[in-house]
Amino acid sequence: MSHDAWRVQEADYPASGSTEERLRFFLRYAVLAPSSHNSQPWRFHITDGRIDLYADPRRRLPIADPEDRELTISCGAALCHLRLAMRYFGQAATVEPAPDPENPDLLASVTPAGPHAPDDTDRALFRAITRRFTHRGAFQDTSVPPALRHMMQALVEREGAGLECLSRPESKAQVAQMVAEADRHQGGDPPFRRELAEWMRTGWSRRKDGLHARALGVGR
C-alpha cells in the first residue's frame, strides 16, 4: 500500500515561495484528514490567493450517508487540518463558510490573513496529523487520562463544538449496545454491504483511497 501522501516533510515548506506554492504545500496536510470509508470526498481549488473547499459528489456514500452528513464532516476535518498547517507555519487564515448560496458544493473559502505565532497547542496538534491513522481493531483496555480528556474538551470548545466523555459504566454499555445494534442493522442490509465492498482494498491495491486491509487489522 502506498503511503506517499504521508511522507510530507516540514523541511519542504516553501517559505520563500509564492502564495500559490505555500497554499499547495498546506494542502498536503489537509488531505491526510480522516473520512468515511476513507472516501476523501473533497476537492480544493486555488484561485486569487485563496483555497476553495468543495464537496466531491462523485465520492458520496448514498447508502451509508444518504444526507451527506458524514461527507460534510469529512470535509470539515480536511478544513481543520488545513487551518492547523497554516497556523503551524506562521500563517493566519480567515474562513468564509458556504460563500456561494448558488453552489452548495462550495463549503468554504480559506484566505491567508497575515502572520500567526504558533503556540504549543498548534505544534502538538500539527505533529499529530502525520501520526494519525484509522484503527478498526481492538483498543487497549486502559482509561484515557483525565488531563487528556480535559484538553480534548477545551480544544473542541475552541472550535465552537462540544465533547462528552462517558465515564459511567452503564452509559458506556448503552452506547455499545446502540453501536452493536446499528452494526447488525447495516450488516443485514445488502445495499449497504455492496457499497462497503466497493470501498474495500486489498493489501496489493494501488488505490490511495478506501478501506485498506491493514487499516482493518488484516495483513493483506
Distance CA(218)–CA(84), nearest Å, equals 32
Distance of CA 42 to the CA centre of its chain: 10
Please give the DSSP secondary-structure letter assigned to residue 6.
G
pLDDT on residue 1: 38
| Residues with Cβ within 8 Å of residue 126, at least 6 apart in sequence | 29, 84, 85, 87, 88, 118
Q: What is the pLDDT of residues 205-216, one digit of tens each?
A: 888 899 887 666
Q: What is the pLDDT of residues 11-37, one digit of tens each?
A: 999 999 999 999 999 999 999 999 999
pTM above 0.75, yes or no: yes
Residue ranges of domains in the chain, CATH in brackets: 4-133 (3.40.109.10)
pLDDT per residue of the chain (220 residues) written in tens, 0 to 9: 345 788 899 999 999 999 999 999 999 999 999 999 999 999 999 999 999 999 999 999 999 999 999 999 999 999 999 999 999 999 999 999 999 999 999 999 999 999 999 999 999 999 999 998 887 777 888 888 999 999 999 999 988 999 999 989 999 999 999 999 999 999 999 999 999 999 998 877 888 899 887 666 665 5
